[in-house]
Chain A
């Protein structure tokens, strides 16, 4: 194998249980965002643009859809002779085969994979977040400080800081303390789940962590605190761009709606840092005479006869005559029947909504607890049904 300066390990085994029926049949990184993307497209595209061509993708929960999606990594230009995207599910080693018990354990079990490249640094990523980031800049900071670990952080409003892993740093950005979901946060620098480790240091701590039966084998809860105790050099790297954890139905819906605002905080239309994804081979979208499409994002293969306002449609969605879609996210190949009304909803792939259905309700202005209605994959909603706001329906 070629020697690599940096190997990326992408943790994509998360169930995303708070996404309810949307993750009933697929892992969270495979969830659709922005019409044509999957969440995992973001870290994979970031790797590709940052020139990191060797990416191990650790899967565990419902990996089928994700494995198929990643394939050889060609969609992200990762199918090079010396690198590539490697899907790494848990595997059996004679008698000791086991599931990944935590994020650190997943890396531990794939140490052999990393060793083949003899890397200087390992970049640990999560497949759960939407952001565009040049990892090279972080790597440069890591090398400049000669750090054992560099943790990407993002400032969050202090009142929300208790939901995150918070880094307390000194003036030189050296991490003094790490607190997981502190009740009284001392800082507002939240960990983004993006780490660069010196491989020699990480290897040592992974081995020790495995021997500790008390450990949950988690980067945030175990590896980072033990490294701090061990006096290693940990630095925070502050990231200034857009970063969003779409861990709940409401945050997934909000992150999508942000794309439709006047000045979206995340610009998908910026060409040099294009987000790559698998592209379906479908004809262009057709907007029929009589259709209305306003403030929306629409993908290839859609056929629209009805009205679409302030919504995002993935590829191959059919909106029949008289249907009205507002403030909603409709995923691939779903059919919305004649006269149906869809408001503030997320409808997963290949669902069929019959005629004259009413799904969801408008969200009152200023409402913080938004009731988003969710229809699961391949669900069939019969003609005339009403699905109340905030309901989750699956087949």
Chain B
């Protein structure tokens, strides 16, 4: 349990690869795994570490994010001192209210950062999915005397070869002592297998200094500028996380991470064996399986009413699946209704979609069909 750190979650990134899924929300508010939102993961990781002061930096479309985190009560962050702070842009002279990068967002949140009583900052982006506390990373940060410690995962051979839609893919190389000596961003061809998890520990005063320095030079990006420029001047260490890591940075990765949760080993690692992933819970009735229901290999949330066939899919709360309908390899977000005899395969239906009776939609694993929130199909 580290109480000498405060947390900062950067939830203002705009990931265009997520297309319609982030049309009306930020990635942090994107539903995942049947009953969670993406931000539950970084938020729970911090709270499970014992951090009691967390700032969430948002910039646009943060309505649904705010709805979800509210006062922070679900994470025990509704506190008399410290707790949860939603940091939204001020429209000031030197800041038009839209961030050009994370550095500018941190600069805009400087009041909160300066006021934090804790000595260290755990800084994390919202869209990386894993379950871990920061105790070991903090220990390593102090033992190695690092200025900045960056959490990373080592990609294995298959992942190195797989070509993906890229969003700020930060790779680096470390020396024998764990110090980062080389850093590449979105490299076309690379042998570097250590991928940044966009989670950092840094002393508060160093963070303030570096942010001000970058900002004064018109440099707005954390990895590109703050990290890469300082590889030789500062001691920037890598800390390896061993375990499942997902990065919600494209429709394809959103799809595959949800499908990963159908794998019992991954699901157990994220939800059962380690600390609990906390989320805002609602009063959902138990899921109701009717006589004609045929559900296999799927995650089903409370409040669903299922009359049809569901196979290898993730079904969120209050979804209705009609008689004779077939849902395969799909993700259905809360409140959506699938009419009788509809046929879906490799589909992502956003919230409150209505699929008419006998409608048919088929995508494929690499390119799942995405239906926008509230559509009538």
Contacts and interface: CB of A to CB of B under 8 A. Distances in A.
Contact of A284 (B35, B285, B290): B35
Contacts of B276: 281
Which 4 residue pairs across A and B have the least CB separation, nearest first? A284-B34, A279-B281, A35-B286, A297-B286
A179 B281 CA distance: 46
A283 B33 contact: yes
Nearest to B271: A283
Interface stretch (B103-111, B183-191, B291-299, B338-346): B291-299
Interface stretch (A63-71, A103-111, A285-293): A285-293
A287 B285 contact: no
Contacts of A298: 286-287, 289, 300
A2 interface: no
23 contacts: A34-B286, A35-B286, A36-B302, A269-B288, A274-B283, A275-B285, A279-B284, A280-B281, A283-B33, A283-B267, A284-B315, A285-B287, A287-B296, A288-B264, A288-B296, A289-B296, A293-B295, A295-B289, A297-B289, A298-B286, A298-B287, A299-B287, A313-B286
B372 to A, nearest CB: 23
A134 interface: no
A65 B282 CA distance: 22
A268 interface: yes
B56 to A, nearest CB: 20
B149 interface: no
B207 interface: no
B267 A286 contact: yes
Given A284-B301, A299-B287, 20 more contacts: A34-B285, A34-B286, A268-B285, A274-B283, A279-B281, A280-B281, A283-B33, A283-B272, A283-B277, A287-B296, A288-B264, A289-B297, A291-B295, A294-B290, A296-B289, A297-B288, A298-B286, A298-B287, A299-B286, A300-B35
B34 A287 contact: no
Contacts of A296: 288-289
B305 interface: yes
B303 to A, nearest CB: 8
A291 B284 CA distance: 23
Interface string B249-290: 000000000000010100100011000111101111111111
Contacts of A280: 281
Interface in A149-168: none
A287 B297 contact: yes
A281 B278 contact: yes
A296 B295 CA distance: 12
Contacts of A291: 295-296
Contact of B285 (A269, A283, A285, A286): A269
A267 to B, nearest CB: 10
A389 interface: no
Contacts of A287: 295-298, 300
Contacts of A288: 264, 296-297
Interface in A186-220: none
Interface in B54-97: none
A100 interface: no
A276 interface: yes
A276 B300 contact: no
A268 B282 CA distance: 14
A293 B293 contact: yes
Contacts of B277: 283
A288 B267 CA distance: 12
Contacts of A279: 281-284
B315 to A, nearest CB: 8
A36 B295 contact: no
A277 interface: yes
Q: Which of B281, B297, B302, B315 has the most CB of A within 10 A?
A: B302
A293 B272 CA distance: 23
Nearest to A286: B299
Contact of A300 (B262, B267, B301): B301
Contacts of B281: 279-281
A111 to B, nearest CB: 34
A39 interface: no
A312 interface: yes
Nearest to B292: A294
Q: Which of A268, A281, A289, A290 has the most CB of B within 10 A?
A: A281
Contacts of B289: 293-298
Nearest to B279: A281
Contact of A283 (B35, B284, B287, B297): B35
B283 A285 contact: no
Interface string A283-325: 1111111110111111110000000000011000000000000
Given A281-B278, A286-B267, A294 B291 contact: yes
Nearest to A279: B281
Nearest to B36: A283
A288 B295 CA distance: 8
B305 to A, nearest CB: 7
B252 to A, nearest CB: 22
Contacts of B298: 286-287
Contacts of B295: 287, 291, 293
Interface string B25-48: 000000001110000000000000
B296 A294 contact: no
Contacts of B286: 34-36, 297-299, 312-313
Given A274-B283, A279-B282, A285 B290 contact: no
Interface in B298-328: 298-303, 305, 312, 314-315
B283 A275 contact: yes
Q: Which of A36, A286, A295, A313 has the most CB of B within 10 A?
A: A286
A36 B286 CA distance: 7
A34 B35 CA distance: 21
Interface in B95-144: none
A299 B299 CA distance: 11
Q: Which of A275, A276, A284, A297 has the most CB of B within 10 A?
A: A284
Contacts of A269: 285, 288, 303, 305
A298 B299 CA distance: 12
Contacts of B283: 274-277, 279
Nearest to B34: A284
Given A36-B286, A277-B283, A297-B288, A284 B300 contact: yes
B201 to A, nearest CB: 27
Contacts of A274: 283, 285
Nearest to B261: A283
B237 to A, nearest CB: 33
A339 to B, nearest CB: 19
Contacts of B279: 281
A283 B262 CA distance: 12
A112 B153 CA distance: 63
Given A276-B283, A279-B283, A294-B289, A284 B33 contact: yes
Contacts of B297: 287-289
